[in-house]
């Protein structure tokens, strides 16, 4: 398949669908009875999708990033209060090539600014999950501004896990507890939860992993304890809003015993 033709056609398809969205963020217009409140997505498979379709890894990530924006819109329509997207693991942040990391950082900057431009007027809170101090200063500044400017919003929350790893989160949690001089007698589940990146949020009701692998790869080891797991057989760029909705509709049929 010709790279330029494929790239142009796919870009035009995405752009046409995205520009066709409602001018206002329509929260809950397609709400599912008994549906999840917090959905987390492990956005895996951009590189393999690119390789199998004869396009660059850079474009694979770009198409994946565009897809996140589309899923934010659909999640709102489905009445999902919190959407978490894991887009970069701490391990990958360290081992991927410098050029690929630079491209991913540029994508994050671009879409953070786009979120600010298109969604700042909506009732959506933005939060970053992960080791922020290792990110470029400019990106840290954008993240900080977005979090501050949306801190008062309550209808929905978008968590972007970039340079996030489950074990890294737990290590950072322990370090903060030690730094704060917490009395061991005061340590309980609630206290530990308040030292996580997701402080103040409910745990994910469902975790969806794309990419055709069936594992969590260390994602949210603390918060995933009550989560229902779903592994649709798609790479992330293929995981369209309609396919996302199909998976979310499976949630009410799960028999959640919570250990009982």
Q: How many CB atoms lie within 10 A of CB 60?
A: 22
Q: Which residues pair with 195 in a beta bridge?
A: none
What local confidence, expressed as pLDDT, does residue 141 receive?
A: 96
Is 113 inside a domain boundary? Answer: yes
Residues assigned a catalytic role = 44, 92
Which of 226, 115, 131 has the alpha carbon at shortest distance from 173?
A: 131
The binding site for substrate consists of: 45-49, 61, 93, 96, 209, 215-217
What local confidence, expressed as pLDDT, does residue 256 receive?
A: 74
Which of 173, 226, 181, 238 has the alpha carbon at shortest distance from 202?
A: 226
DSSP code string of 89-117:
EHHHHHHS-HHHHHHHHHHHHHHHHHHHH
Is 17 inside a domain boundary? Answer: no
The C-alpha atoms of residue 195 and residue 222 are separated, in whole angstroms, by 11
What local confidence, expressed as pLDDT, does residue 255 receive?
A: 80
In the numeric block, the tokens 């970053």 are attached to 128
Question: What residue numbers bound the domain in which 80 lies?
Answer: 34-251
Is 123 inside a domain boundary? Answer: yes
Give the domain CATH number at 78.
3.40.1180.10
What local confidence, expressed as pLDDT, does residue 2 receive?
A: 35
Report yes or no: 210 and 237 within 8 Å, Cβ to Cβ: no
Is 16 inside a domain boundary? Answer: no
Is 207 inside a domain boundary? Answer: yes
pTM of the complete model: 0.90
The binding site consists of: 44-49, 61, 93, 96, 209, 215-217, 228
| Burial group, residue 69, by CB count within 10 angstroms (0-12, 13-18, 19+) | middle
What local confidence, expressed as pLDDT, does residue 198 receive?
A: 98
What local confidence, expressed as pLDDT, does residue 1 receive?
A: 31
Is 222 inside a domain boundary? Answer: yes
The structural domain count of the chain equals: 1
Tokens of 176: 């903060």
Q: How far is CA 142 from CA 71, 132, 147, in A?
A: 22, 11, 9
Sequence-ordered list of residues with C-beta below 8 angstroms from that of 94, at least 6 positions apart, any chain: none
Is 22 inside a domain boundary? Answer: no
What local confidence, expressed as pLDDT, does residue 9 receive?
A: 52
In the numeric block, the tokens 């709102």 are attached to 76
Is 257 inside a domain boundary? Answer: no
- Which residues of the chain are under the pLDDT cut of 50? 1-7, 10, 13-14, 16-23
What local confidence, expressed as pLDDT, does residue 35 receive?
A: 98
């Amino acid at each position: 398949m010709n790279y330029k033709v494929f790239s142009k056609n796919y870009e035009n398809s995405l752009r046409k669908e995205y520009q066709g969205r409602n001018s206002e963020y329509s929260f809950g217009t397609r709400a599912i009875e008994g549906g999840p409140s917090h959905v987390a997505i492990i956005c895996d498979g951009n590189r393999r999708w690119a390789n199998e379709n004869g396009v660059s890894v850079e474009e694979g990530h770009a198409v994946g990033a565009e897809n996140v924006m589309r899923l934010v819109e659909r999640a709102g329509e489905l009445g999902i209060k919190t959407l978490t997207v894991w887009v970069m693991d701490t391990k990958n942040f360290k081992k991927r090539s410098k050029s690929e990391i630079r491209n991913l950082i540029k994508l994050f900057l671009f879409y953070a600014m786009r979120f600010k431009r298109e969604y700042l007027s909506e009732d959506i809170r933005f939060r970053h999950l992960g080791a922020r101090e290792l990110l470029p200063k400019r990106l840290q500044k954008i993240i900080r501004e977005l979090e501050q400017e949306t801190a008062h919003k309550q209808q929905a929350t978008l968590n972007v896990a970039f340079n996030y790893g489950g074990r890294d989160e737990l290590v950072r949690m322990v370090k903060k507890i030690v730094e704060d001089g917490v009395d061991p007698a005061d340590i309980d589940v609630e206290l530990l939860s308040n030292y996580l990146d997701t402080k103040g949020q409910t745990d994910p009701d469902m975790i969806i992993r794309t990419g055709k692998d069936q594992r969590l790869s260390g994602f949210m080891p603390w918060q995933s304890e009550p989560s229902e797991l779903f592994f649709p057989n798609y790479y992330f760029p293929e995981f369209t809003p309609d396919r996302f909705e199909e998976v979310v509709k499976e949630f009410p049929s799960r028999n959640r015993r919570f250990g009982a």
